[in-house]
Amino acid sequence: MEAVREPRIIVIGAGVAGITTAYVLQKAGFTDFTVLEKGSDVGGVWHWNHYPGLTCDVPSQIYQFGFAPKPDWSKIWSSGPEIQRYHRDVAERFGLMDRIRLNTEVAGAVFDDAAGTWTVTLAGDDERPGEELTADFVVCATGVLQNPSIPDIPGLDTFAGPVVHTARWDDDLATDGKRIAVIGTGSTGVQVVSALQPRAATITHFTRTPQWILWAPMSLPQVPLAGTVLKAFPAAHDALYRGLLWGSGILADIVRNDTWRRHAVQKYARLSLRAQISDDALREDLTPDYQPLCKRQVVSGTYYRAIRADNAELITDAIVEVTPDGIVTADGTRHDVDVIVLATGFRAHDYMRPMTVVGRDGLTIDEAWAEGPRAYRMTAIPGFPNLFTVLGPNSPTGSISLQHTAEKTARYLVSWFDAFRRGDADRIEVTEEATAEFNAQVREALEPTIWNTGGCNSWYFTESGVVDLWPFDRATLDAMLAEPEPAHYRVTRTEQLRSVRPGVGAE
């Protein structure tokens, strides 16, 4: 009988990437893995974000795990709470909750060169140091949009009323009848303004850079019968999912290629604005000076109506300071408000942080990524043996299904974990050459994309001015993650299997 040793695997994060990884590991028969999640529930962004109006602008029949199709979404574009319930339900239904430790924040992970293992330290408190866990592999499924970006506006901390970031919404916050300021015009700002405007005394939307907004009927229900039919015929549901996956290839195409398809979408963006805003001055203020699709595309069926309302105002003058009573703009106007909502986005390239991650020879992730995040095929980082990311650097956003990408990546990792299990590999580290080659391919492919040529600044750009996205189509993604290419890795192998070791837990 072939001898096996069970790898001890720690997955950090229980969002889309972490749930997928846990499912894939379980399915592949791994028995010694633990998912550590700092939040009080699974779901990642869908747990942390619960601001009014939160909706997924990707249709739910494709924004779901391929292994857990949900036939009966209530809407075509479902609300945040329904999506969050789905994540919880999937984790429970597949028995993954037993693997997940909630309220468990990881403070750091350090690679032990001699032992070839990772020591993962949990956050402690004043009374107790953090628990230490040992693992053969660490999978960082820590997400992209996880660290809220708080703007450095003079006087923000002097404001007398509540200041809330959308990603840390206070469900007890009273907004009805209040004078509300919303700062930020991304997908979030547009959704929160639309949701708060009807019952606010006033809503003042501070926009530094306007966004193109595609009109779509975001509150459209899914036909109830559709859920019943899809439930009764799983093969039809699977075909629908595969069809949508295939159809979404059009998105990858329009961002990569300057064709009539891209132009058609861009025309639609301009039409969406023209058709809904007849006031010339307001339309001018809402018109971006860059091409549609350059930033992460915003989709809304309600924003233009909300900003046209009598109690709404769009402010394009720069914010110079916040006072206890309100916001002062560069033209000297004081805007008195009761509540400030920061829809100011995320520090999108702070993957894994604020954890300290120390790899081989004491190399920290901050040192390795001094010029911005960089990985091989979204998952492996030179200098960090036996550590992988799922939905790491260059993962697709808005062009290819994240759930699909996460599953492909997790399955790819299983190949390495299997090699470890068989005793064929102990220490697995991607080479600098393969990483440099991949990143050169990415850079070249990014050149003609609308993200790069559209004339905008966006959270897609790292500090060093490189777009951190996936520039290839889904077939390329699938091919790159089909099987590890041994030549791209340095694999160390021990001749003898180690004796049975304790499971993931306190040393």
CA dist 193 and 117 (Å) reads 48
**Binding residues for ligand N01 restricted to 442-471, rule: CB under 6 A:** 459
Q: Which of 344, 403, 405, 452 binds ligand N01 (CB under 6 A)?
A: 344
- Residue 445 CB, nearest approach to ligand N01 (Å): 20
Rg (CA), the chain: 24
Cα dihedral 398, 403, 406, 409 sign = negative
Q: What are the φ and ψ backbone dihedral angles of 409, each rounded to 5 degrees?
A: -65, -45
Q: Which of 145, 286, 368, 450 binds ligand N01 (CB under 6 A)?
A: 145
Q: Which of 38, 99, 165, 296 binds ligand N01 (CB under 6 A)?
A: 296
- Residue 212 CB, nearest approach to ligand N01 (Å): 12
Q: Which of 343, 355, 365, 381 binds ligand N01 (CB under 6 A)?
A: 343
Looking at beta carbons only, is 343 or 428 nearer to ligand N01? 343
Q: Which amino acid is at 486?
A: P
Unique residue bearing structure tokens 């002062």? 328
272 alpha carbon, distance to own chain's centre: 27
Q: Which of 186, 292, 385, 484 binds ligand N01 (CB under 6 A)?
A: 186
* Options 30-38, 301-309, 343-351, 387-395: segment touching ligand N01 (CB under 6 A): 343-351
| Cβ(166)–Cβ(45) below 8 Å | no
CA dist 199 and 219 (Å) reads 18
CA dist 342 and 250 (Å) reads 33
Q: Which of 26, 121, 209, 311 binds ligand N01 (CB under 6 A)?
A: 209
- Residue 149 CB, nearest approach to ligand N01 (Å): 6
C-alpha distances out from residue 494 to 116, 136, 382, 479, 486, Å:
11, 14, 21, 30, 17
Looking at beta carbons only, is 138 or 307 nearer to ligand N01? 307
357 makes contact with ligand N01 (CB under 6 A):
no
Unique residue bearing structure tokens 């859920």? 227
* Options 25-33, 124-132, 177-185, 495-503: segment touching ligand N01 (CB under 6 A): 177-185
* Options 109-117, 180-188, 262-270, 416-424: segment touching ligand N01 (CB under 6 A): 180-188
CA dist 439 and 35 (Å) reads 29
| Complete DSSP assignment for 57-107 | SS-TTTSS-TTS--S--SBSS-BHHHHHHHHHHHHHHTT-GGGEESS--EE
Q: Which of 5, 75, 101, 208 binds ligand N01 (CB under 6 A)?
A: 208
Looking at beta carbons only, is 109 or 390 nearer to ligand N01? 390
- Residue 392 CB, nearest approach to ligand N01 (Å): 16
Q: Which residues bind ligand N01 (CB under 6 A)?
A: 55-58, 145, 151, 153, 183-189, 191, 208-209, 296, 319, 343-345, 397, 459
